[in-house]
Structure 1
Amino acid sequence: MRRMSLLGIFLILIGLLLLFSELGIIRFYWRDLLRLWPLIFIFWGLDLLIGEKKWFGWLVVLIIFLLTIFIVFFSSYGRPFFRDRGPGFYYREWKYPFKEDIKGLDLEISTGVRVVRLEALKDRENLLHISSNWDFYIDKLIEEKRDGELGLSLKVEGEKETGFRIFGDDKKLDPINININPEIPLSLKFDVGVGDATLNMREFRLKDLSVKGGVGRLKIYLPSSPCYVEIEGGVGSVEVYVPEDMILDLSAETGLGKISVDKEIKQEKGGEKGVIRLKVRSGVGNIKILSEKKEVI
């Protein structure tokens, strides 16, 4: 009697995962095969147990089928099924739809251990779009509406770790992209976690910005419009880029780090037109306030 080929079942399982990925049902990539290496020992052990027991082989097939269903609908590879169902699920992208009755956005974001890039959203159909090549977790979501202004509070974490990783911790190096609709007047409070962060505020109708630095390099590009900005340095360097056509009203409080201002930036106390009111307080790292022409994104 011919034995059931467990190698064949293994190949069918991998083929199904790749097929579902190509059809857009789940997110599964060739590099993810590296994370399935323990299956080699599982199938090897099953092959030793089954022997000539054909009925046990079909039981294994049933178990593999149930495992595939679990991966598709409940694991990290199938998490697109749970998008937009609120906090508590993992995502590769998370969207908050744009609504006509929203006249302003009061947004508070804190991040965990990840590299972060924040910039204007090109897709005007959404108010907020968060995406990454690796899974992330919305740990907290608070929504409040008052007089046409929407208040959102988000805590964005990387995928929670369960056990050691044999192939390294490269997930934390892959950035989380936070994109916000620039057509809505914005008040933003941003709490940086562990990792580099770049906040490109150039295109926003920014009313005020409050940034608390974390551990890592922080770069902030300010818009060419009057606004109030408050920055607290953390453990790492902070670079703030001021547009050439704007005047800076600066107040600074020095901590352990130094605060330096580019001589080419025009400074003036008071005034209303073309003035950015900037308040900075250094942490352990240095804060540099530079003219925008010093660097182009």
Structure 2
Amino acid sequence: MSAKIVRRGVFLIGIGAVLLLNNFALLDWDVWYDLLRLWPVILICFGLERLFRDSRLSGLTYLSPIVMALTFVGVIYYQGFSKEEYSGDFEEYDRELYHWSVEDEGACSAVRLDIDFGAGSLWIRSGEEALLSAKFDCDRDPPRCRYDVDEGVVSIKIRSEQKSVSLFSRKHHNDAKIEVSNKYPLDLSVDVGACGLDLDLSDLELTDFKLDGGVCDISLKFGDRAEHLRARIDIGVSDLHIQIPKGVGLKLIKDTALSSFDHRGIKLEKPSGSTYLSEDYSTAEKKIDIFLDAGLSSLAISSR
């Protein structure tokens, strides 16, 4: 059996093993971010096969599948067994923190929040005091934050330049906790890379929602304050869990082939090939339309 055939077999076994571990929640979906960064390993394998194929050292061509196997084993080990767990508040970390807020001066009519977060962990909730209160734990460059006011609309921009995490290292952090006032209508746009997202938007009056992500683990909770919310979600290889309030009509339009799709507790009808409607969509007083474009992702929708 040639090294080329063995290498192909190792590649397929590796992909299947990672997907299996993802589906059983034994491995985070952001493992795909590290695997994609290691694509030059494929070129190395091709080079080893060509270099030794017609020489007296042809047995060394089998270094190609060995390198491929070690790549998968290394990524799985460092992602699954040597990952530093985070639980608790940021104050438990022995690192410098960054705080930023926008005070509510009473002249606001609406808020536009644009977040470009890169890689890390992002947590968003509703707040009651400031228009926005943010706490960052990032041991590289601090985020850039600014806001302006135009005819009562407060536009807030938060930028984090950390677009990647160190491969096989959990020493660097880019974590944020953001609270947004629940007093005003909110237009929310979130752009992330390889990120863990915990977005509880249930107490916020969303007028528009956009999420653009790479390799993500996403928990997304919508509320019922908006009459008709349109949410656009564009993600790569991700694990997405969405919660919808009971009594809110749901329309899901998905332009994707999902690895798994679970909608327990919500009865969905399929009037067309890519559109799903909840049974009460036509009669519901409040509605949520979700436009989903995803890669090889897992989607779970539940009601609460």
TM-score of the superposed pair, with normalisation by structure 1: 0.58
Aligned residues: 202
The alpha-carbon distance between structure 1 residues 99 and 286, as it changes in their structure 2 partners (threshold 3 A), is: same
Identity between Structure 1 and Structure 2 (%)? 17
CA distance in 2, matches of 1:282, 1:160: 20
- 1:136-285 pair list within 5 angstroms: 137-141=141-145, 143-157=147-161, 169-172=170-173, 175-226=175-226, 227-255=229-257, 257-265=259-267, 266-268=278-280, 273-285=285-297
Q: In the alignment, what sits opposite 1:115?
A: 121
Check conservation: 2:111, 2:186, Cα contact below 8 A. Answer: yes
SS in 2 for 1:210: strand
Aligned CA distance change for structure 1 residues 268 and 30 (closer, same or farther; 3 Å): closer
- 1:30 and 1:118 map into 2 onto residues whose CA distance is 20
Quote how far apart the aligned CAs of 1:99 are: 2.3
Which amino acid is 2:154 matched to?
L
Q: What amino acid is the match of 2:132? A: L
What's the RMSD between the two structures over aligned residues?
3.3
Residue in structure 2 matching 1:129, options 129, 133, 136: 133
Structure 1 portions without partners, runs of 5+? 1-27, 33-76, 78-90, 293-297
TM-score when normalising by structure 2 = 0.57
Post-superposition shift, 1:180? 0.9
Partners of 2:261 and 2:223 in 1: how far apart? Answer: 21
8 A Cα contact 2:224 2:248, kept in partner: yes
The range that moved more, 258-267 or 188-197, is 258-267
Change (3 A) 1:210 1:170: same
Deviates most, 264-273 or 193-202:
264-273
State the Cα distance separating 1:31 from its structure 2 match: 4.8
Q: Which has the higher contact order (CA 8 A, sep 6+)?
A: 2
Contact 2:111 / 2:155 at 8 angstroms: preserved in 1? yes
SS in 1 for 2:202: coil
Is 1:106 the counterpart of 2:112? The answer is yes
Quickly say closer, same or farther: Cα 1:128–1:215, change in 2 above 3 A. Answer: same
Cα deviation for residue 207 of structure 1 reads 1.1
**Bigger Cα displacement from structure 2, 151-160 vs 240-249:** 151-160
SS at match of 1:194: strand
8 A Cα contact 1:186 1:204, kept in partner: yes
The 8 Å contact of residues 138 and 155 in structure 1, kept in 2 or not, is answered as no
* CA distance, structure 2, for counterparts of residue 245 and residue 270 of structure 1: 12
Q: Which runs of 5+ in 2 are unaligned?
A: 1-90, 268-277
The structure number with the bigger radius of gyration is: 1
**Greater shift in the superposed pair: 236-245 or 134-143:** 134-143
